[in-house]
């Protein structure tokens, strides 16, 4: 062994990742963690046991905790590290990650602090501070190199992990309200809000995603709570972190989670089914429901149906997750990262997974494809068709109220909201008509 990086849940050592002389990794749970009441596994691929897990198991799981594409290139260049060395990167920035874990250094509550964006950027205008923060992220993702900031979020999209501070200056687990302040977590303090700036290449993405997730909630699908944030020049999506909870004495606590790429031992490069090496297909995606209750497995089917109905063709393996809570069985995470591609002619329209054995676009889906999906995973085709119809009926019934609610959010552009609603409703009705 040439080195090791400890993994922490708060101030409890969960285990450590050891690096061998040939660069291979292994993970071993700490004896104390194995004896701790309520201890959870790091992953569905790494259940609690005394024997170590080898490199081919731990490496994909680690890689999925890091950003991708340009975000990772800029970040590793700033750190002077190899993009492929996920463990070294996490040792530097893995203080606040997706889920409950920190890497390298234990979390010490005494040191937790939050710096308001207005103070950090030296302005009294919250919208100007948010705009400067977005510009800052383009130069240094997750404020890499800033003293006290150690954050990592997966995905290729520019984003930030902030905290909402209430009127008394303490973090609150809710979407921002009038009088609240957005702040940067320091020294291992947990974030509560993921902020995703809009994208000029995808006009209306803010309204699009907020509409889709609010619609999911309206028709009975548990989804991440979202809103629209406004800076001095643009808008952003604010997503309340579902992997956080409030404990006794109003303490902010982390919940452990992993995405379906991690739960199936796939590196981020295989989050799509198609590729040189096959990634997550629809059958395997739905069979990941074996880790959760029967009720949650049906909720997973609803998530898949909803993504198909709204034409969220980018619903890859990292857009579904499990929550692995302390002392309880795994459960399905709320739906997140949903937007319809129908608003953008230049975006690929093929779904991330094959449907009925072939690559499909939204305009190709017919009743036989839902039946094929049902048979593949052991559901009755009639039940799946009926569920599709139920969700379409609920979507149509909720369309007016959800659209009005999103259009009323400060910073929202009504035209983008209506465009999203029209496109999704037309797509869903076309699919229902072909059942």
Confidence of residue 279 (pLDDT cuts 50, 70, 90): very high
Residue 96 DSSP code: B
Q: What is the pLDDT of residue 348?
A: 85
Task: Indicate the helix (H) or strand (E) that contains 26.
Answer: strand 25-29
Q: In terms of C-beta density within 10 A (0-12 exposed, 13-18 middle, 19 or more buried), how is residue 51 classed?
A: exposed
Q: What is the DSSP string of 82-144?
A: -TT-HHHHHHHHTTB-SSS-EESS---GGG-EEEEHHHHHT-S-HHHHHHHHHHHHHHSGGGT
For residue 250, pLDDT beyond 90: no
- Residues labelled catalytic: 314
**Per-chain mean pLDDT for the chain:** 95
Confidence of residue 248 (pLDDT cuts 50, 70, 90): confident
**Contact predicate 427/362, CB 8 Å:** yes
Tell me the pTM. Answer: 0.95
Confidence of residue 157 (pLDDT cuts 50, 70, 90): confident
Confidence of residue 256 (pLDDT cuts 50, 70, 90): very high
Write out the two tokens for 55.
């490199």
3-state secondary structure of 109: helix
62-102 per-position pLDDT tens digit: 999 999 888 899 889 989 999 999 999 999 999 999 999 99
Between 71 and 15, name the one with better pLDDT: 15
For residue 1, pLDDT beyond 70: no
192-238 per-position pLDDT tens digit: 999 999 999 999 999 999 999 999 999 999 999 999 999 999 999 99
- Bridge partners (DSSP) of residue 391 are none
3-state secondary structure of 14: strand
Q: Which residues contact 109 (CB under 8 A, 6 or more apart)?
A: 10
Alpha-carbon distance of 64 to 260, in angstroms, equals: 10
Q: In terms of C-beta density within 10 A (0-12 exposed, 13-18 middle, 19 or more buried), how is residue 410 classed?
A: exposed
Determine the average pLDDT of the residues in 355-377.
93
Write out the two tokens for 71.
């975000």
Helix, strand, coil share (%) of the chain residues, nearest 5: 40, 20, 40
**Contact predicate 158/138, CB 8 Å:** yes
Nearest to 309 by CA among 261, 286, 354, 341: 341
Query: What does the domain layout of the chain look like in residue ranges?
Result: 3-103, 109-240, 256-433
3-state secondary structure of 9: strand
Task: Indicate the helix (H) or strand (E) that contains 236.
Answer: strand 235-240
Report the first-to-last Cα separation within the chain, whole angstroms.
58
Q: What is the pLDDT of residue 156?
A: 80
Q: What is the CA radius of gyration of the chain?
A: 21
Share of the chain above pLDDT 70, in %: 100
Q: Are strands 235-240 and 193-197 parallel, antiparallel or unpaired?
A: antiparallel
347-363 per-position pLDDT tens digit: 989 999 999 889 999 99
Q: What is the pLDDT of residue 69?
A: 87
For residue 158, pLDDT beyond 70: yes
**Contact predicate 215/225, CB 8 Å:** no
Write out the two tokens for 77.
């260049």
Confidence of residue 2 (pLDDT cuts 50, 70, 90): low
SS (H, E, C) 191-225: CCEEEEECCCCCCCHHHHHHHHHHHHHHCCCCECC
101-139 per-position pLDDT tens digit: 999 988 888 999 999 999 999 999 999 999 999 999 988
Alpha-carbon distance of 120 to 277, in angstroms, equals: 45
């Amino acid at each position: 062994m040439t080195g090791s990086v400890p993994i922490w849940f708060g101030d409890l050592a969960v285990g450590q990742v050891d690096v061998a002389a040939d660069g291979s990794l292994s993970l071993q749970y700490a004896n104390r963690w194995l004896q701790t009441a309520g201890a959870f596994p790091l992953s569905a691929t790494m259940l609690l046991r005394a024997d170590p897990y080898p490199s081919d198991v731990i490496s994909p799981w680690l890689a999925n905790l890091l950003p991708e594409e340009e975000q990772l290139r800029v970040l590793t260049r700033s750190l002077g590290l190899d993009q492929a060395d996920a463990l070294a990167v996490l040792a530097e920035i893995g203080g606040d990650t997706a889920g409950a874990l920190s890497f390298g250094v234990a979390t010490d509550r005494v040191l937790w602090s939050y710096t308001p964006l207005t103070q950090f950027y030296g302005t009294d205008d919250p919208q100007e501070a948010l705009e400067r923060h977005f510009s800052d992220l383009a130069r240094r993702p997750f404020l890499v190199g800033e003293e006290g900031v150690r954050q990592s979020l997966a995905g290729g999209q520019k984003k930030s992990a902030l905290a909402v501070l209430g009127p008394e200056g303490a973090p609150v687990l809710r979407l921002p309200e009038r009088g609240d302040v957005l702040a940067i977590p320091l020294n291992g303090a947990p974030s509560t809000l993921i902020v995703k700036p809009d994208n000029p290449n995808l006009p209306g993405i803010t309204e699009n995603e907020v509409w889709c997730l609010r619609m999911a909630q309206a028709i009975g699908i548990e989804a991440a709570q979202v809103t629209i944030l406004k800076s001095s020049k643009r808008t952003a999506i604010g997503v309340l972190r579902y992997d956080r909870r409030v404990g006794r004495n109003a303490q902010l606590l982390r919940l452990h989670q992993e995405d379906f790429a991690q739960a199936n031992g796939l590196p981020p490069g295989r989050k799509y089914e198609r590729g040189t090496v096959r990634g997550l297909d629809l059958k395997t995606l739905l069979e990941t429901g074996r880790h959760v209750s029967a009720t949650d497995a049906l909720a997973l089917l609803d998530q898949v149906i909803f993504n198909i109905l709204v034409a969220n063709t980018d619903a890859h393996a990292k857009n579904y997750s499990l929550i692995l809570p302390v002392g309880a069985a795994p459960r399905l995470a709320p739906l997140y990262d949903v937007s319809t591609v129908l608003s953008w002619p230049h975006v690929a329209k093929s779904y991330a997974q094959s449907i009925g054995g072939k690559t499909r676009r939204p305009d190709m889906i017919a009743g036989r494809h839902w039946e094929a999906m049902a048979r593949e995973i052991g559901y009755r085709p009639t039940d799946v068709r009926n569920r599709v119809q139920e969700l379409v009926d609920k979507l149509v019934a909720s369309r007016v109220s959800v659209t009005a609610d999103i259009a009323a959010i400060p910073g929202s552009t009504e035209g983008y909201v209506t465009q999203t609603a029209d496109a999704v409703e037309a797509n869903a009705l076309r699919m229902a008509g072909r059942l």
